[in-house]
Chain A
Amino acid sequence: MTSALDIDALLGDPKTRIVVCCGAGGVGKTTTAAALALRAAEKHGRRAVVLTIDPARRLAQSMGLSELDNTPRKVEGADGELYAMMLDMKRTFDEVVLAHTDPKRAKEIFANPFYQAMSSTFAGTQEYMAMEKLGQLRATDEWDLIVVDTPPSRSALDFLDAPQRLARFLDGRMLRMLLAPARAGGRSVFTLVTASFGVVTKAFTKILGGQLLTDVSGFVTALDSMFGGFRERAEQTYRVLQARETSFLVVAAPEPDAIREAAYFAGRLAEDKMPLAGLVLNRMHRLAVPDLSVERALAGAETVAGSVTAGVLRVHADLSRRVARERRIAEQFLAARPGVPVFEVPAQPEDVHDLDGLRRVTS
């Protein structure tokens, strides 16, 4: 049986301090995050901030965000204390580096071409920096509620896994091993494991090029003092995500992939003892005349073929089919995760790009 998720109870509860919106790509994470923060500010008088990631341009503009600047800005049209910000992952990465090393080292790191590439394009950087930013926002203790959007990735799990993957990479075995020959006069751990490693290193050097390896090596040397720092920070925020003050919402659209992804993600949260507040089932279609069946509508349309009424009945029949299909798909989530409360958001006929559109999401 489906139980309804009471978002007002969630947003109005002073113990709810962090809400994280996760889900597959394009399902409406950013929209939901912004809509929830707006609701918390307007209906529950909470001082709320929404950390958005890559919002659609028009939505960003409507919230008064025109550039990536990592600073919460007051949202003018909102009737309450709503702040919004866009994540600048490069700048956040720079901040982490600065926090862990002296200015001279930091400068070296910033100038390294490999760092420059990885701080803006590396897989996992965005997720890591989103968590980092969340940690920073929370540390200021300035907000009643922080609503976090998550990066557009294929898999919702990336938000949980990517930061640790990145941290592992940064203090990783491989990084040290591969670079060891350069640092220890040609003797690497691998020589003990496989005599042919030399051949392999050579092949890799040929493929990747000496310059890249030199850059990586320089980066690693400069970063040496921070190894561990990355992992620690990632672990810290991870623990915040398990705390009572945090609620996860998994967002899905009624499509097989998105629903499958949402079910996986919900399972994973349970394993990791992270609190799942519910499923936001976004972009659901609704019938205004649920009692008129597809068959009757189509039969009626035949009878009055060619008329306006026939057209209206066809629209109703199509919509009914669609609604039935969406229900069937959504059921698959509930079959996998029974008992998870659901909040349904109707599909709006047009994209959501202003505050009124956001208000309709939660109304």
Chain B
Amino acid sequence: MTGMTGNQPRLHIVTGKGGTGKTTVAAALALALAGAGKRVLLVEVEGRQGIAQLFDTAPLPYTERKIATGPDGGEVRALAVDVEEALLEYLDMFYRLGRAGRALQKFGAFDFATTIAPGLRDILLTGKIKEATTRTEGGKRVYDAVVVDAPPTGRIGRFLNVTAEAAKLAKVGPIKTQSEGVAAVLRSPLAAIHVVTLLEEMPVQEARDAIAELEALDMPIGSVIVNATRDEALAGVKLTQAELKRGLAAAGLPADKATITGLLEEAKLHLVRVAMEAGLREDLQKLDQPLIELPLLPDGVDLSGLYELAAILREKL
């Protein structure tokens, strides 16, 4: 049924340094994967309602609901996983807590449990993600792909390494079984972890560190996504005052001294950046992972910008 795409990853996890574009890229990727007749789930786990903001809709509840249509008719649903709700669901499933669970919630008991055992959060979140990825209905998979707007690089290793976290908790019981199931999926070709970076020093450094960490954990790296890159209008040229003066005159623009030195100053600062970016791009190439570049959208990311990024991802992924 799925034919050629049978070996493609179905669970896409998007990480990267804070602010590099994880949410944007995850959303664009979900659109890209929502081809004709496909259904994709876009998941967020940090309770920040970033997806709702991006799609300019009301805050997402803890249910899977349609948020967008893919470029050729597929469906993108979104889910903001709420840890308390996930824990309630879980307690209900394994211990039939029913109303007692709700009462407990009122006392802040869940807050307490996830505070003394921070790893519990991650286990619940990744458990939910795995469940959605493998869910079937009437013998058919519900989602063709699941895309996760995951925690940033600094926390991604711990977030995904659920077995280590579970080892700190109960040695037997459903938590353990569940985390083993999650670990198996995360280490299989079903999963791909994409690392988003900008051409800036710290994000590149963090991308490198995260890839090393994930590789050591045997987790499958998908692509390195270089976000917000710019076209290079000035690559390899020599700038002189004389030439700029002639050029400005030919362009019918003021060619006074202040304009010329000002424009040269702007161009030089730009070239310093370009050189630095070229160095960082080379560093990224040395990582030996597929690189995908996404352009900087000059006016920021709106819905049409997301489709633009989705089209590029679809072509290159």
| Known contacts A206-B170, A206-B173, A350-B272: A199-B234 contact under CB 8 Å | no
In the complex, the answer to whether B263 meets A312 with C-beta atoms within 8 Å is yes
Complex CA gap A116/B315 in Å reads 48
In the complex, the answer to whether A292 meets B233 with C-beta atoms within 8 Å is no
- Across the interface, which residues of B come within 8 angstroms of A209, CB to CB? 168-171
In the complex, the answer to whether A308 meets B243 with C-beta atoms within 8 Å is yes
In the complex, the answer to whether B266 meets A287 with C-beta atoms within 8 Å is yes
- Across the interface, which residues of B come within 8 angstroms of A25, CB to CB? 18-19
State whether the Cβ of A340 lies closer than 8 Å to any Cβ in chain B: no
In the complex, the answer to whether A351 meets B200 with C-beta atoms within 8 Å is yes
Q: Which of A26, A123, A207, A308 has the most CB of B within 10 A?
A: A207
Q: From B58-66, B113-121, B186-194, give the one contacting chain A.
A: B113-121
A113 closest partner in B (C-beta): B168
Instruction: Pick the residue among B17, B243, B272 that contacts A349 (CB under 8 A).
Output: B272
- Across the interface, which residues of A come within 8 angstroms of B299, CB to CB? 321, 325
Within 8 A of A (CB), among B114-163: 115-118, 120
B139 to chain A, nearest CB (A): 32
- Across the interface, which residues of B come within 8 angstroms of A322, CB to CB? 298
In the complex, the answer to whether B251 meets A123 with C-beta atoms within 8 Å is no
Complex CA gap A316/B238 in Å reads 17
- Across the interface, which residues of A come within 8 angstroms of B201, CB to CB? 350-351
| Known contacts A207-B173, A300-B248, A311-B233: A200-B109 contact under CB 8 Å | yes
In the complex, the answer to whether B117 meets A312 with C-beta atoms within 8 Å is no
| Known contacts A178-B109, A349-B273: A309-B248 contact under CB 8 Å | yes
In the complex, the answer to whether A121 meets B91 with C-beta atoms within 8 Å is no
In the complex, the answer to whether A200 meets B101 with C-beta atoms within 8 Å is yes
Instruction: Pick the residue among A208, A308, A309, A311 that contacts B117 (CB under 8 A).
Output: A208
Complex CA gap A83/B47 in Å reads 39
In the complex, the answer to whether A174 meets B109 with C-beta atoms within 8 Å is yes
Within 8 A of A (CB), among B261-289: 261-267, 269-270, 272-273, 276
State whether the Cβ of A175 lies closer than 8 Å to any Cβ in chain B: yes
In the complex, the answer to whether B202 meets A56 with C-beta atoms within 8 Å is yes
State whether the Cβ of B216 lies closer than 8 Å to any Cβ in chain A: no
In the complex, the answer to whether B252 meets A204 with C-beta atoms within 8 Å is no
| Known contacts A212-B169, A309-B244, A351-B202: A289-B252 contact under CB 8 Å | no
- Across the interface, which residues of B come within 8 angstroms of A304, CB to CB? 247, 250-251
- Across the interface, which residues of B come within 8 angstroms of A319, CB to CB? 266, 270
Complex CA gap A351/B248 in Å reads 33
- Across the interface, which residues of A come within 8 angstroms of B251, CB to CB? 299-301, 303-304, 309-310, 313
B210 to chain A, nearest CB (A): 16
- Across the interface, which residues of B come within 8 angstroms of A325, CB to CB? 299-300
B19 closest partner in A (C-beta): A26
What number of residue pairs across chains A and B have CB atoms under 8 A from each other? 176
Complex CA gap A16/B258 in Å reads 41
State whether the Cβ of A203 lies closer than 8 Å to any Cβ in chain B: yes
- Across the interface, which residues of A come within 8 angstroms of B298, CB to CB? 318, 321-322
Q: Which of B19, B120, B276, B298 has the most CB of A within 10 A?
A: B19
- Across the interface, which residues of B come within 8 angstroms of A299, CB to CB? 251
- Across the interface, which residues of B come within 8 angstroms of A193, CB to CB? 103, 107
Kindly supply a per-residue 1/0 record for chain A positions 183-221, scoring 1 wherever the CB is within 8 Å of any chain B CB and 0 otherwise.
000000010011011011011111111111000100000
Q: Which of B116, B230, B238 has the most CB of A within 10 A?
A: B116
Within 8 A of A (CB), among B87-111: 91, 94-95, 97, 99-101, 103-104, 107-109, 111
Complex CA gap A322/B297 in Å reads 11
- Across the interface, which residues of B come within 8 angstroms of A300, CB to CB? 248, 251-253
State whether the Cβ of A8 lies closer than 8 Å to any Cβ in chain B: no
State whether the Cβ of A314 lies closer than 8 Å to any Cβ in chain B: yes
A303 closest partner in B (C-beta): B251
In the complex, the answer to whether B233 meets A315 with C-beta atoms within 8 Å is yes
Complex CA gap A25/B269 in Å reads 26
Instruction: Pick the residue among A26, A178, A207, A257 that contacts B17 (CB under 8 A).
Output: A26
State whether the Cβ of A288 lies closer than 8 Å to any Cβ in chain B: yes
State whether the Cβ of B310 lies closer than 8 Å to any Cβ in chain A: no
A169 to chain B, nearest CB (A): 6
Instruction: Pick the residue among A123, A207, A312 that contacts B113 (CB under 8 A).
Output: A207
Complex CA gap A255/B234 in Å reads 26
In the complex, the answer to whether A350 meets B175 with C-beta atoms within 8 Å is no
B241 to chain A, nearest CB (A): 11
State whether the Cβ of A114 lies closer than 8 Å to any Cβ in chain B: yes
In the complex, the answer to whether A315 meets B267 with C-beta atoms within 8 Å is yes
Within 8 A of A (CB), among B172-208: 173-175, 200-202
A323 to chain B, nearest CB (A): 11
In the complex, the answer to whether B100 meets A197 with C-beta atoms within 8 Å is yes
State whether the Cβ of B317 lies closer than 8 Å to any Cβ in chain A: no
Within 8 A of A (CB), among B226-256: 230, 233-234, 237-239, 243-244, 246-248, 250-254
Complex CA gap A318/B232 in Å reads 11
A209 to chain B, nearest CB (A): 4
B110 to chain A, nearest CB (A): 10
State whether the Cβ of A296 lies closer than 8 Å to any Cβ in chain B: yes
State whether the Cβ of B259 lies closer than 8 Å to any Cβ in chain A: yes
State whether the Cβ of B112 lies closer than 8 Å to any Cβ in chain A: yes
Complex CA gap A211/B171 in Å reads 9
Given known contacts A200-B97, A211-B171, A307-B247, what 16 new A-B pairs fall within 8 Å (CB)?
A: A25-B18, A123-B115, A172-B112, A174-B109, A193-B103, A200-B100, A200-B101, A303-B250, A308-B244, A311-B234, A312-B267, A313-B251, A313-B263, A325-B299, A349-B272, A349-B273
Nearest first, the 7 A-B pairs at minimum CB distance are A309-B247, A300-B251, A288-B262, A209-B170, A196-B100, A289-B262, A311-B233
Q: List 16 A-B contacts (CB under 8 A).
A: A26-B18, A178-B109, A190-B107, A193-B107, A196-B100, A206-B95, A207-B91, A212-B116, A216-B116, A289-B263, A308-B243, A309-B246, A309-B248, A318-B230, A351-B201, A351-B202
Q: Which residues of A contact B (CB under 8 A)?
A: 25-26, 56, 114, 117, 121-123, 154, 169, 172, 174-175, 177-178, 190, 193-194, 196-197, 199-200, 202-212, 216, 255, 257, 287-289, 292, 296-297, 299-301, 303-304, 307-316, 318-319, 321-322, 325, 349-351
